[in-house]
């Protein structure tokens, strides 16, 4: 069968996107010095066992250390749970549901800006600005600064080379230095806004972070900035890729597109299936705290693992016909949002943004389709799966 990866230039190294299966569920990558986890069962074992598989990767990549305090992704219990509770109230089902009118309003305003055209570029015109505006408003920072956010964040995900522990080169160190420089700019930006909240509190999430206490102690400047950084970056990348990927999957499967257009109850299923088939964050990292057996392999303590959830989500032992896009797939226990204590805090918001945006797109553009004269552009980063540019025809 022909896959989306066959039709477009999508991550040549990610063989699972082309229907190929890993020879082993767990394998040591000699070129990178990293253990790769491909199997679904093995991925579940890793993400559900935080005692053996630590999220703190700074012991093997110490350059990340300055961005660890307050970064939930790189934290272990018990501090992880305490910090997570500080913002969990901002993503409760009711709070997220109450955002639906605003998400619809922003979506319509963005699409009104391309009214009268016969084409649009989905990422630039909708998929990027929509979640940035929403998360910026939640945090209380100017959404009008989104061009700066994009410049800083995009450079984090433009490196086409996979990180290597085996033979780190000067070029790799240079790329890492450039990426860290941009993260520092975003961190400094958020630190400045946090300092302003200390002087003049507002009714926003950033103020709550500044005023919050853990065990009777307020968060440090680094913790607030890194926490806000994570919310801003992760709060928009997933939705940006989710919206583009779902439109692309529907375009590549005309029969399913017709089904979804006719029966909008299938929209959530289409989003879940695109998350499985083209998982936005392709991998997550862990470090072994002790020697462990995983997938028939003995992995020593202190080793870095890349858990390829994008590959696990195509494991045929768990997903029949894994390369088929099926909006009605049930069950669909994909790992695109993780699992366990690190399950994505913003998953309900990303799903809502995707559902609202997709329904409005289908309502407005009966002839919505990819532009045969201009191919999509995919993120070059091996850690991301999704379109960074998606030209569409929107005429009848």
What does the domain layout of the chain look like in residue ranges? 4-393
Give the CB-side neighbour count of residue 126, counting CA atoms within 13 A.
30
DSSP of 183-219:
HHHHHHHHHHHHHHHHHS--SSHHHHHHH-EETTEEP
| Predicted pLDDT of residue 147 | 86
User: Phi-psi bin for 386: left (phi > 0), alpha (psi -120 to 50), beta?
Assistant: left
Under 8 Å between Cβ of 252 and 4: yes
Is the bond preceding residue 360 a cis peptide, omega within 30 degrees? no
Domain boundaries 4-393, CATH class: mainly alpha
Task: Count CB neighbours of 118 within 10 A.
Answer: 11
| Predicted pLDDT of residue 160 | 62
Find, among 319, 306, 310, 334, the residue nearest to 386 by Cα. 310
Task: List the pLDDT tens digit at each of the 396 positions of the chain.
Answer: 567 777 777 776 788 888 899 999 999 999 899 999 999 999 999 999 999 999 999 888 776 667 788 889 999 999 999 999 988 888 888 999 999 999 999 999 999 999 999 999 999 999 999 999 999 999 999 999 988 888 887 777 766 667 778 766 777 777 777 777 888 898 999 999 999 999 999 999 999 999 988 888 888 888 899 889 988 888 889 999 999 999 999 999 999 999 999 999 999 999 999 999 999 999 999 999 999 999 999 999 999 999 999 999 999 999 999 999 999 999 999 999 999 999 999 999 999 999 999 999 999 999 999 999 899 999 888 889 999 999 999 976
* 326 vs 321: CA distance, rounded Å: 9
| Predicted pLDDT of residue 64 | 65
Helix, strand, coil in percent for the chain, rounding step 5 = 55, 10, 35
| Predicted pLDDT of residue 2 | 62
* 254 vs 237: CA distance, rounded Å: 26
Under 8 Å between Cβ of 53 and 40: no
Pairing of strands 304-307, 34-37: parallel
């Amino acid at each position: 069968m022909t896959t989306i990866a066959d039709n477009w230039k999508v991550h040549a190294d990610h063989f699972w996107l082309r229907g190929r299966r890993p020879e082993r569920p767990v394998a040591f990558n000699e070129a990178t010095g990293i253990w790769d986890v491909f199997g679904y069962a093995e991925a579940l074992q890793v993400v559900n066992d935080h005692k053996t598989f630590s999220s703190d990767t700074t012991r093997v990549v110490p350059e990340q250390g300055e961005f660890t305090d307050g970064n939930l992704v790189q934290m272990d219990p018990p501090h992880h749970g305490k910090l997570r509770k500080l913002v969990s109230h901002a993503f409760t089902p009711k709070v997220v549901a109450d955002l639906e009118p605003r998400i619809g309003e922003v979506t319509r305003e963005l699409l009104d800006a391309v009214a009268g055209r016969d084409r649009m570029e989905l990422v630039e015109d909708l998929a990027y600005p929509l979640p940035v505006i929403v998360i910026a408003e939640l945090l209380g920072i100017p959404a009008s600064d989104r061009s700066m956010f994009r410049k800083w964040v995009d450079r984090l995900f433009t490196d086409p080379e996979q990180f290597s522990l085996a033979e780190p080169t000067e070029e790799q160190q240079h790329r890492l230095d450039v990426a860290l420089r941009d993260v520092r700019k975003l961190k400094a930006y958020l630190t400045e806004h946090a300092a302003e909240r200390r002087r003049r509190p507002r009714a926003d999430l950033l103020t709550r972070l500044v005023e919050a206490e853990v065990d009777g102690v307020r968060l440090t400047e680094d913790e607030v900035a890194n926490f806000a950084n994570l919310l801003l970056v992760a709060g928009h990348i997933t939705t940006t890729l989710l919206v583009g990927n779902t439109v692309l999957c529907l375009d590549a499967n005309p029969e399913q597109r017709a089904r979804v257009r006719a029966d909008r109850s299938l929209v959530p299923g289409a989003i879940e299936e695109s998350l499985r088939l083209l998982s936005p964050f392709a991998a997550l990292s862990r470090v072994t705290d002790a020697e462990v057996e995983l997938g028939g392999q003995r992995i020593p303590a202190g080793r870095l693992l890349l858990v390829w959830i994008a590959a696990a989500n195509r494991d045929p032992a768990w997903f029949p016909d894994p390369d088929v896009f099926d909006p009605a797939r049930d069950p669909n226990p994909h790992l695109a949002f993780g699992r366990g204590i690190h399950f994505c805090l913003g998953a309900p918001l990303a799903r809502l943004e995707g559902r609202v945006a997709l329904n409005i797109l289908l309502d407005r553009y009966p002839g919505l389709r990819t532009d045969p004269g201009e191919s999509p552009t995919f993120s070059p980063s091996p850690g991301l799966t999704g379109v960074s540019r998606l030209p569409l025809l929107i005429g009848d």
